[in-house]
């Protein structure tokens, strides 16, 4: 079974701070990595994806990938109360199958 | 507007009843998926289909059935054999291309409750 592990949280950060979300995965053959945001009672929405080692930035979000350590993270700069949600890490294998972590709950305190 | 629609938003099932959840997409995606989400848990794969008239079981297929007669549609039936069906059901789709960049997009979900 391919596993994706996340700290469930809750993670609380003050408004304007950097929130750091982490994810580890078990399958070394994993192809690409995704971060979804899920508001309470809503479906997941894609924030960003990464498939090469290193950093990828998109606005206030930065995804970091280290395939050797089987580790992927999401940094949210200048956190806003509207960022309060559950963040799901997803890993895609070469067979186009996605595996999801249980999510990290983030609360941004005004 | 392109997207994925699911209906109904809420569904109530009586004991012993089969119910069907609808999922339609106009993104021209080949692959479609059904997930179940329980409180505090991640998404668990029920069934997926990479092409019309073909589908495969996921990790928790028991008590569920699907069909894929059209590219745009992938309905899920929750049968009476599923003893604990209360959950949030999510339909997703993606292009079939096995490239690193290809991602899944989700519909708005159906919340199933047992009366």
pLDDT tens profile B58-84: 999 999 999 999 999 999 999 988 889
What distance in Å separates residue A18's CA from the closest CA in chain B? 24
Higher per-residue confidence, B115 vs B68: B68
Peptide linkage before A10 cis (omega within 30 of 0): yes
- Distance of alpha carbon A97 from alpha carbon B104, whole angstroms: 10
Decide: A2 and A98 in contact? Cβ < 8 Å: no
Q: Which residues of A touch B42 (CB under 8 A)?
A: 4, 88, 100-103
Q: How far is A32 from chain B (nearest CA, A)?
A: 5
Substitution target in A29, A90, A96 with the highest count of B β-carbons within 10 Å is A96
The answer, for B103 touching chain A at a CB cutoff of 8 Å, is yes
- At B10-67, the pLDDT tens digits run 999 888 899 999 999 999 999 999 999 998 788 999 999 999 999 999 999 999 999 9
Min Cα–Cα distance to chain A from B91, Å: 9
Is the pLDDT confidence value at B7 over 80? yes
């Amino acid at each position: 079974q391919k596993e994706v592990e996340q700290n469930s949280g809750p993670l609380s950060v003050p408004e304007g701070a950097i929130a750091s979300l982490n994810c580890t995965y078990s399958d070394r053959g994993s192809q690409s990595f995704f971060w979804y945001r899920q508001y309470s009672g809503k479906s997941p929405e894609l924030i960003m994806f990464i498939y090469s080692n290193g950093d990828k930035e998109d606005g206030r979000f930065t995804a970091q990938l280290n395939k050797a350590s089987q580790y992927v993270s999401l940094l949210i700069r200048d956190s806003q109360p509207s960022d309060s949600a559950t963040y799901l890490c997803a890993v895609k294998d070469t067979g186009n199958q996605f595996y999801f972590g249980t999510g990290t709950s983030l609360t941004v305190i005004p | 507007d392109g997207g994925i629609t699911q209906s109904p938003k809420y569904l109530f099932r009586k004991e012993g009843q089969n119910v069907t959840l609808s999922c339609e997409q106009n993104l021209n995606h080949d692959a479609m998926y059904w997930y179940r989400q329980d409180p505090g848990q991640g998404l668990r794969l029920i069934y997926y289909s990479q092409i019309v008239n073909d589908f495969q079981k996921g990790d928790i297929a028991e008590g569920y059935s699907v069909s894929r007669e059209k590219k745009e549609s992938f309905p899920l039936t929750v049968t009476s054999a599923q003893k604990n069906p209360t959950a949030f059901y999510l339909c997703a789709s993606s292009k079939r291309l096995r490239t690193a960049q290809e991602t899944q997009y989700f519909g708005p979900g159906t919340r199933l409750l047992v009366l």
